[in-house]
Structure 1
């Protein structure tokens, strides 16, 4: 049964592939319009008007190529990253700011590669992605010719060729010509369906070669990402230090000061009022226990002992035991990630679990922890009401920033009505269990 379902899905994919390429071919017409408008704006740069129009023209061009990138990734599986160098961070209002933006984008190789795309793609797409669709349509036209269209052409006084078959005056009465037309149309249709996946894949590689980032833009984007992640890491460290200072000042430090004052009072009361001194000693003992408990909580907030001793898998299981929702944890790890990655993953999962308890209105959680293709992958699923968003959740934004320092990514799928699936991935290598516990 499963094999039959897979076979049907493959057939459905093959049936849709020619028309996906055909739609990409139809996109060439608006792309040509966008390219013409971009060229017209470039021609007016010397008049000053182009400086005002260029940002909107380049945005239109980028929007067009972004659409191609999304469709190529969706239909061919070829991922194409946006290649654009960052615009100047601070742009003045008015003509000067637009001139700086113009200068920045004219120096970006991706701008010219996008324009080259609008010029070359109408030709390339016809001979790659769109060609199978045209073959199928031409095959269907052969069926129509053999059925009735050929006779209509002849009665109208016209003459045509279908491949090597002449649709002329004798065509309606020539049975062999009609059979040859049907056979040739069948060949075109079969060729269209069979060639569609490969030609669409060729088109995907063509798109990646021209619409993807160059080495220069890739390096610039990497530098920008590292700069942002470094700034976020510094900000996060400063915020963590402020939290530790605040917790020490308001908690353990205040209790220790109070204990010192109580011990001074006890020293004076030992001879005068031993009973009252005994009561103060009992209260001081309680304060010392509370201070010790607060210090332990503070240490857990910095780096939980279970994480240091047992690793990320057992640390997440410990979080699950204390969680109000019923939680199932699956861990498939052959070793331990680096300590900084473990720490980032642990606190990210802790924040996700806290959000689930506060906002999901669910009753169950499933946590899956595994290492695949050089990535630590942790998925947290709840059966709540859904509707979570990275845009609205400051906690999730914090998770994204925390793992972004390690080139990690957070993906959130939370449709209205649930379930909510939060998946985080961090690149890392695993050490052997013996090495990690030594």
Structure 2
């Protein structure tokens, strides 16, 4: 049942932390009991409105502890906001599975959960108490020597028991909490469908905007130069017999326009998928980008392979946008990029020592990054207190391609 063992002293610490929460548990127990006792008068239903939201927050704290101990997230059902009066809000809660999950968790926390936490903390505490008592009796000659030896022997027997089984009680508690608070599969599916619908709409909008940008760049750049090239060639053809020198100048201008048009087309292509990204991978492309910036940028990167091309492209352009914001708005003297791969995810972190105060709700750059990553179920977290530093952490689920079958991402 249990695949990962936690140190026994850690389990004892969590158990002691739960014991310190007895006071808020007793507080909630009083209110729940009053609600049940006054339910026949109708007042108890209204009392639920008072204790249910704090109980959800308290359950969230315990779920965070359980998730930290188990090494995975333990979600907590959310109560619907109370917007149309206490009575209707409570009646709506009664019709939701999440409310009864919270109530069932509370009953467990007050009974079996409390016992399991006490057992987790009691083993090491018992060993310490037995040893202290044995030494105290031996030092004070208050009891026969065999009593001290017996207490010491019991303590020594309990030490390996605690060491090998000290985390079992806490793991039973946290696994039970995770099972009780497990999200409703139907609600989870509905949320997933809603997220995918929103992500698809944002992807379509982003793709349309990208196509408009490419069209605008081609129209304003390469197309204008090619039109000028055609006019120059036509004029040169007209002047070829009458004024060869003027025709030669026009042909030279046409040649220059050809080079400029090719440069514009290459710029558009780089904006779609940079050649350095295809040749050297994400790490190499970010390192090359960092060398071209006017401030020093440290790149710390390690990946087990290359991500799929769409994920790699989205990640690269997200870093490009972040570093562009650093140069334009942060006033930073230095920046850093960390690229890692924890648990089948691609993690990108871009930070700077600038003035801080960045807000994803203002402007379109950070919102565009979130939309770009959202198409791949990615997330973006922004930390930018006033005075800095600003740190943007982005994560995208990723299945790694074999480095043996893809171009190398190392720098040359």
- What TM-score do you get using the length of structure 2 for normalisation? 0.72
Q: Helix, strand or coil for the counterpart of 2:395?
A: strand
Compared with structure 1, are the counterparts of its residues 56 and 234 closer, same or farther at alpha carbon in structure 2 (3 Å cutoff)?
farther
Q: Helix, strand or coil for the counterpart of 1:361?
A: coil
Cα offset for 1:66? 1.0
The match for 2:101 is 113
Say yes or no: does 1:127 pair with 2:125: no
Contact 2:322 2:350 in 1 (8 A): no
Contact 1:259 1:284 in 2 (8 A): yes
Specify which of 148, 151, 159 is matched with residue 179 of structure 1. 148
State the aligned residue count.
Answer: 396
Say yes or no: does 1:200 pair with 2:194: no
Say yes or no: does 1:430 pair with 2:404: no
Q: Please list every run of 5 or more consecutive structure 2 residues that lacks an aligned counterpart in the other structure.
A: 1-5
The match for 2:263 is 293
Q: Deviations over 1:343-390 (max 9, x none)?
A: 2222223223334444372446455466x6544x35456674585867
Specify which of 173, 176, 181 is matched with residue 211 of structure 1. 181
Partner Cα separation in structure 1 for residue 190 and residue 19 of structure 2: 32
Q: Deviations over 1:373-410 (max 9, x none)?
A: 544x3545667458586757864443333223222344
The match for 1:404 is 374
Contact 1:28 1:118 in 2 (8 A): no
Q: Please list every run of 5 or more consecutive structure 1 residues that lacks an aligned counterpart in the other structure.
A: 1-10, 150-171
Specify which of 14, 18, 26 is matched with residue 20 of structure 1. 14
Partner Cα separation in structure 2 for residue 245 and residue 102 of structure 1: 55
Contact 1:51 1:102 in 2 (8 A): yes
Compared with structure 1, are the counterparts of its residues 18 and 345 closer, same or farther at alpha carbon in structure 2 (3 Å cutoff)?
same
Compared with structure 1, are the counterparts of its residues 355 and 122 closer, same or farther at alpha carbon in structure 2 (3 Å cutoff)?
same
Say yes or no: does 1:343 pair with 2:331: no
Partner Cα separation in structure 2 for residue 78 and residue 228 of structure 1: 26
The match for 2:3 is none
Q: Deviations over 1:289-331 (max 9, x none)?
A: 3232222111111122343455444434443443443555655
Q: Deviations over 1:72-131 (max 9, x none)?
A: 22345343134449x69xx9x6459x94x6666444322211111111211122321232
Q: Helix, strand or coil for the counterpart of 1:128?
A: helix
Contact 1:345 1:403 in 2 (8 A): yes
Specify which of 251, 255, 261 is matched with residue 221 of structure 2. 251
The match for 1:361 is 332
Equivalence map 1:84-99=2 (5 Å): 84=78, 94=84, 99=88
Cα offset for 1:178? 6.7
- What TM-score do you get using the length of structure 1 for normalisation? 0.69
Root mean square deviation, CA, Å: 4.7
Equivalence map 1:58-73=2 (5 Å): 58-73=52-67
Compared with structure 1, are the counterparts of its residues 22 and 432 closer, same or farther at alpha carbon in structure 2 (3 Å cutoff)?
closer
Partner Cα separation in structure 1 for residue 44 and residue 255 of structure 2: 78
Compared with structure 1, are the counterparts of its residues 316 and 19 closer, same or farther at alpha carbon in structure 2 (3 Å cutoff)?
closer
Cα offset for 1:425? 4.0
Compared with structure 1, are the counterparts of its residues 388 and 192 closer, same or farther at alpha carbon in structure 2 (3 Å cutoff)?
farther
Compared with structure 1, are the counterparts of its residues 234 and 102 closer, same or farther at alpha carbon in structure 2 (3 Å cutoff)?
farther
Q: Deviations over 1:414-438 (max 9, x none)?
A: 787759574534322415644789x
Partner Cα separation in structure 1 for residue 208 and residue 41 of structure 2: 51
Higher alpha-carbon deviation: 23-32 or 47-56: 47-56
Partner Cα separation in structure 1 for residue 42 and residue 246 of structure 2: 89
Compared with structure 1, are the counterparts of its residues 217 and 119 closer, same or farther at alpha carbon in structure 2 (3 Å cutoff)?
same
